[in-house]
Chain A
Amino acid sequence: MSPLNMPGRNGLLALIATIMVLPLMLPNAFYFDIVILIGLNSIVCIGLNLLIGYAGQISLGHAGFFGIGAYFSAILTSTYGWPATAAMVVGAVVVGLLSFIIARPIMKLQGHYLAMGTLGLGVIITIVLTQESDLTGGPDGMPVPGFSIFGWEPYGETVWYWIIAAVLVATVWLSLNLIASPVGRALRAVHGSEIAAETLGVNVVKYKVLVFVLSAIIASLAGSLFAHYTGFITPDTSGFIHSIQLVTMVVLGGMASTFGAVAGAAILTILPQLLTVFHDYEHLVFGAVLIGTMIFMRRGLVPTLADLFNGRQK
């Protein structure tokens, strides 16, 4: 029963190896910055993938939870002088409660109604963050003090790199564990057939609610880290566009694949950087790439590649 005997071990080891080697190949802070953002997006997407990919429940509003986490950290540390860790925890608790309260009615919705409900929730959060400008600085955003943990104040891209890498590895590990457990099977059963799951004794609503809350809390924690890392946030962090980016990462990388979420986050974080060479054509190309990928790799990158690979082996 060694921890090495876990599901998805090879993938996790490959990820760790990549993380170890990567700093040697990143020429400067600019590249570190991109990789850190990939890590943060990956963390959110792994949580979101539990909800969308495994439990089959779409959310078009998860950036809202990311934003709440970010703003709680920003406001509590800068305006009220709280320690960063305490602010981060309080943000996560608030998001946990909020998502728990809202999850029951939201998770009753199906398909497009669920899409609408979560989208609406996200938009409302953004509007609140934009309008309560006394607290949040309004549409122009607000600065965030640096992170600190037990008196240590991480500073600079390399330090942040290792922090985010550690959190990412932990998130991947937890996600892989969860999916291979009875809870993970229950979540996948909910996706496969709610009615069958229920007749087998799975309390479908409970699992939907809990996975919604879990993914929201993960988003909130990532939002807090993001706020401290970038040092400045705007309501856009919680916005519809950001929610869409997150879902797109999950779907593009491959639904129901933890490493797919990481791959999707990596691609969609890097792509806009590459596309800046297209200047004015940036959005045009980005949209076209999105459409093309989804048409030709409907199940997403990692599952499609995995199929190709297994097919060749047979």
Chain B
Amino acid sequence: MTLLRVENLSRSFGGIKAIDDLSLTIRPGPIHSIIGPNGAGKTTLFNLISGIYKPGGGRIVLEDADITGHAIWRLAELGLARTFQNLQIFFNMSAIENVMVGMHLKSDSRFITSLFRTPGIVKGDQDKREEAIRLLEFVDLGDYLDADTDSMPYGALKRLEIARALATQPRIIMLDEPAAGLNPAETVAIDGLIQKISENGITVILVEHDMRLVMGVSEHIFVLEGGRMLAEGTVADIRNNPDVVAAYLGESGRDR
């Protein structure tokens, strides 16, 4: 069974092939990880899947529906959520408001009812607030409900982005380096959080450099290099793959 399929995807930036004829399949359920050196194209792949970049070629298929070139915001409707390597927090809003934006699609978002603050709007906001509190507690940010985001620590902001993405009630969540910049204790906490998310039935696609984290949580690993698939398989497959070992240890004797 496949949930998401990437077929022969390509995208280049001024001559550099960031993603080069890449195909992969994501099954519903397990945690999939994408690893690879800096510049391998991991973030670009996320940007292509989430519609931020238009592909130069290829298709993206979500459960048999071709979503290539869909408007970004429609993908949220279809159950695709993500976080960002470069934090994209709404710094002009409190933590809980950030999460409530994630519930936009389930809210009454008409101008007219909003302007007059109808009872429906008031009730909706109360419910959304309660749900947001639950989500913030889920990512262990219960102490930061109405905190100013620009005074929150980096690690908390990373988890806030996750809570915000979860607020869209996604089927797939793409996490771009959630542990980057975190201390060991915070990394362990993220590890646990990722597993909790997965246990809630959400398919996680993880981009991460922390190999201990990746090897610990992933069921399936893709290794990208130069926009192409270097290898894929289970943790054991990847550990024993000579190409991967060579790439990661920087061996030069490998034939190309």
User: Which residues of the other chain, A, contact B123 by a CB distance below 8 angstroms?
Assistant: 1
A103 at interface by CB-CB < 8 Å: no
Q: Are A189 and B90 within 8 A (Cβ)?
A: yes
Interface string of A120-139 (1 = CB under 8 A from B): 00000000000000000000
- Contact residues of B between 40 and 92, Cβ < 8 Å to A: 50, 52, 71-73, 75-77, 80-82, 84, 88-92
* Given A1-B122, A200-B101, A182 and B114 contact (CB-CB distance below 8 Å): yes
Contact of B119 among A1, A183, A210 (CB under 8 A): A1
The 0/1 profile, CB within 8 Å of A marked 1, for residues 97-118 of chain B is 1001111110111110111110
- Is A20 interfacial (CB-CB < 8 Å)? no
Specify the chain A residue showing the minimal Cβ separation from B164: A200
Provide the residues of chain B in CB contact with A201, threshold 8 Å.
Answer: 73, 76-77, 102, 104-105, 168
Instruction: Give the bracket for the number of chain B residues in contact with chain A.
Output: 35 or more
Known A-B contacts A183-B109, A184-B114, A202-B73; the reply to A192 vs B89 at CB < 8 A is yes
How many cross-chain pairs have Cβ atoms below 8 Å apart between A and B?
Answer: 116
A199's partner among B50, B92, B114 (CB-CB below 8 A) is B50
In the bound assembly, the distance between CA atoms of A178 and B119 in angstroms comes to 14
Q: Are A188 and B92 in contact (CB under 8 A)?
A: yes
Per the 8 Å Cβ criterion, residues 151-185 of A in contact with B are 174, 177-178, 180-185
Identify which of A178, A188, A200 contacts B102 (C-beta below 8 A).
A200
Is residue A293 contacting chain B, with contact meaning CB distance below 8 A? Answer: no
Task: Give A174 to B112 CA distance when docked, in angstroms.
Answer: 10
Query: Which residues on the B side are within 8 Å of A88 (C-beta)?
Result: none
A185 to B94, CA, bound (A): 11
A214 within 8 A of B: yes
Whether the Cβ atoms of A210 and B111 lie closer than 8 Å is: yes
B77 touches A196 (CB 8 A): no
Which A residues touch B81, using CB under 8 A? 199-200
**Are B100 and A185 in contact, CB atoms less than 8 angstroms apart?**
yes
* Chain A residues whose CB sits within 8 angstroms of the CB of B215 once the complex forms: none
In the complex, A177 Cα to B119 Cα: how many Å? 12
Cα distance A185–B97 in the bound complex, in angstroms = 7
Instruction: Tell me the residues in window 180-237 of chain A with beta carbons closer than 8 Å to chain B beta carbons.
Output: 180-186, 188-189, 191-193, 195-204, 210, 214
- Separation of A256 and B84 alpha carbons in the complex (Å): 26
Partner of A192 from the list B76, B93, B116, B121 (CB cut-off 8 Å) is B93
**When the two chains form their complex, are residues B101 and A185 in contact, meaning their CB atoms are under 8 A apart?**
yes
Q: Is B233 an interface residue (CB 8 A)?
A: no
- The 5 A-B pairs at the shortest CB distance, nearest first, are namely A192-B90, A201-B76, A181-B114, A196-B88, A182-B107
Given A182-B114, A186-B109, A192-B93, 9 more contacts at CB 8 Å? A180-B125, A183-B109, A188-B97, A200-B164, A201-B73, A201-B77, A201-B104, A201-B168, A210-B111
Cβ contacts A to B, 24 pairs, < 8 Å? A1-B123, A174-B116, A180-B117, A181-B113, A182-B107, A182-B114, A182-B125, A182-B128, A183-B111, A188-B93, A192-B89, A192-B93, A193-B88, A193-B90, A195-B72, A196-B164, A199-B75, A200-B73, A200-B76, A200-B104, A202-B101, A203-B71, A203-B73, A256-B92
- Residue numbers of A with Cβ under 8 A of B are 1, 3, 5-6, 174, 177-178, 180-186, 188-189, 191-193, 195-204, 210, 214, 256
